[in-house]
Every structure is written in structure tokens, then in C-alpha cells.
């Protein structure tokens, strides 16, 4: 199973872009990269996913390296409400998602 | 769309009692997942269903835990008898299934066993 590695915590100033890295060097060709976040006391929230190409939606952008061994989640203009734990996940099975420890992102006013 | 609905939001029970957690997935979703979250162990997948059939229950901690999905709009997670170490937040999630599909999580049930 492909595993992911994320820094345990990061800080970002409010209004700046938050760039959250993730390593997944053993990812296989048909596995997607997913990002979720969990704001305190809430259920995890889906953010974005991608296979090979970069992706953007109303919440964030996902940049996947050409060799697919790492990716970066970008929150373009971080606000205090973006303070959360961010999980990078590689889908190991068609219908199952396993969460790791994630990155605790602190947005500083 | 009301999202994934879990009940109760909070449950406090005494050790040895039976506890039943409930989940209503999003209409049309064909996969349902039960997760447990604690500070020590993080988010753990307990069991998941596809088209109401249990596919993988390898995360269920022991025989005291059981889950059912009698129809596409309802699932239960039961703990009998409950123990203090079962105290956690239990999340239910649903998905349309297949690659490229995100999960939608409920707000969770915070269980405290005293």
C-alpha cells in the first residue's frame, strides 16, 4: 500500500498562501491523491483530489509532481477558518480511505 | 441535501450498557463507512459497506462491536457491552463509490463510557 508522509505541523500568516507538502513515493499508477481537512470537533471535509494533472477548485489547488512521488496542497489566501488538520491520502483500495496523522496547520493573525 | 446525519450527537453511558449509534447516509450514495477517532489512535476505519453489504470489517476492534445496514438509508453501530476505552468520537461517512469520489462525513457522535 502506498503511504504518505506529511510534516506534523505548519504555520502560515493570514492572507498568505499556505503550501502543504506530502510525499507518496510508493504511489502506483492508478492511485489518486486525496486531501481532506478536519476542523476542530467536526467531521473530516473533502477538499480536492487528483491523479496526474494539477487540479483547482473553489477551495484549493493541488500540484502533483511529474513523477507523482509528491504533491502540494495550496490554499491561496489562508484565513483563520483554515486552521485545521490536513490529511493527504493515497487511495489504497477502490472504496476505502485510511487516514494518517496529517499536518496541523495554524493560521496566524 | 441534509448531508450525512448521525444520532445522537452525544452519548454518555455506564460501563456494561449497550450503545447504538445511528447513521443516515446521503441519498443515492452506495458506500458507507464507520470511523472512530481518539487522541491516541487518530481516525480509524472500523467497517465499510457497499450496496448495504459489509465489505471489510477488519477494523472492528472486537466482538463487542457490530454494525448493520438493513437498507440504503440507514446503518447502526452497536457496542455491547460498552467499556470506558470505547470512549471516542464515532464518524459515519458515505460516498458514491469508485475512484475519484470523495467521502462526505457526518458531524459525529461523541461517546463517553463511565
C-alpha–C-alpha distance, residues B78 and B18, integer Å: 7
d(CA A14, CA A9): 16
Identify which of B4, B50, B107 has the shortest CB distance to residue A95: B50
Per-residue pLDDT, averaged over B6-27, amounts to 97
Q: How far apart are CA A57 and CA A78, in angstroms?
A: 15
- Tell me whether residue B94 is exposed, middle or buried, using C-beta atoms within 10 angstroms of its C-beta: 0 to 12, 13 to 18, 19 or more: buried
Q: Is pLDDT at A80 greater than 70 in this prediction?
A: yes
Which member of A44, A94, A99 has the closest CB to residue B99?
A: A94
Phi-psi region of A67 (alpha: psi -120 to 50; beta: other; left: phi over 0): alpha
Average pLDDT score, chain A = 92
pLDDT at B58: 92
For residue A93, name the pLDDT band (cuts at 50, 70, 90): low
Contact B45 A44 (CB under 8 A): no
Q: Are A87 and A96 in contact (CB under 8 A)?
A: no
pLDDT digits (tens, 9 = 90+) for A56-73: 999 999 999 999 999 999
CA nearest to B72, candidates B50, B105, B40: B50
- In terms of pLDDT, which residue wins out, B101 or B54? B54
- Picking from B46, B36, B27, the residue whose alpha carbon sits closest to that of residue B104 is B27
CA pair distance A71, A4, nearest whole angstrom: 10
Once rounded to an integer, what is the mean pLDDT over residues A85-105? 85
pLDDT of residue A95: 59
Contacts of B24 by beta carbon, 8 Å cutoff, 6+ apart: B4, B5, B6, B73, B74, B75
The answer to whether the Cβ–Cβ distance between B99 and A98 falls below 8 Å is no
Instruction: Say which residues have a Cβ less than 8 Å from residue A73's Cβ, sequence separation at least 6.
Output: A19, A20, A22, A35, A47, A48, A60, A61, A62, A86, A88
The grid coordinates of residue B25 equal: 447516509
User: How many Å apart are CA A59 and CA B66, to the nearest integer?
Assistant: 37
For the record, the C-alpha cell of B21 comes out as 449509534
State whether A97 and B45 contact (CB < 8 Å).
yes
pLDDT value for A41: 83
pLDDT in tens, B95-110: 987 656 788 999 999 9
Amino acid at each position: 500500500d502506498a503511504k504518505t508522509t506529511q510534516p506534523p505541523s505548519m504555520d502560515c500568516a493570514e492572507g498568505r498562501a499556505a503550501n502543504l507538502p506530502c510525499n507518496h513515493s510508493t504511489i502506483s499508477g492508478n492511485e489518486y491523491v486525496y486531501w481532506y481537512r478536519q476542523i476542530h470537533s467536526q467531521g473530516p471535509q473533502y477538499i480536492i483530489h487528483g491523479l496526474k494533472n494539477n487540479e483547482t477548485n473553489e477551495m484549493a489547488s493541488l500540484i502533483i509532481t511529474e513523477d507523482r512521488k509528491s504533491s502540494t496542497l495550496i490554499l491561496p489566501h489562508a484565513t483563520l477558518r483554515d486552521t485545521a488538520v490536513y490529511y493527504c491520502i493515497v487511495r489504497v483500495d477502490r472504496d476505502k480511505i485510511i487516514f494518517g496523522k496529517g499536518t496541523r496547520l495554524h493560521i496566524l493573525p | 441535501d441534509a448531508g450525512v446525519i448521525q444520532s445522537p450527537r452525544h452519548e454518555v453511558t455506564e460501563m456494561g450498557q449497550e450503545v447504538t449509534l445511528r447513521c443516515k447516509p446521503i441519498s443515492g450514495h452506495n458506500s458507507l463507512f464507520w470511523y472512530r477517532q481518539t487522541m491516541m489512535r487518530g481516525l480509524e476505519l472500523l467497517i465499510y459497506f457497499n450496496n448495504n453489504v459489509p465489505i471489510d470489517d477488519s477494523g472492528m476492534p472486537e466482538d463487542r462491536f457490530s454494525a448493520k445496514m438493513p437498507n440504503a438509508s440507514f446503518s447502526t453501530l452497536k457496542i455491547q457491552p460498552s467499556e470506558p476505552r470505547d470512549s471516542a468520537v464515532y464518524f459515519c461517512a458515505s460516498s458514491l463509490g469508485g475512484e475519484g469520489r470523495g467521502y462526505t462525513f457526518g458531524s459525529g457522535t461523541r461517546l463517553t463510557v463511565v
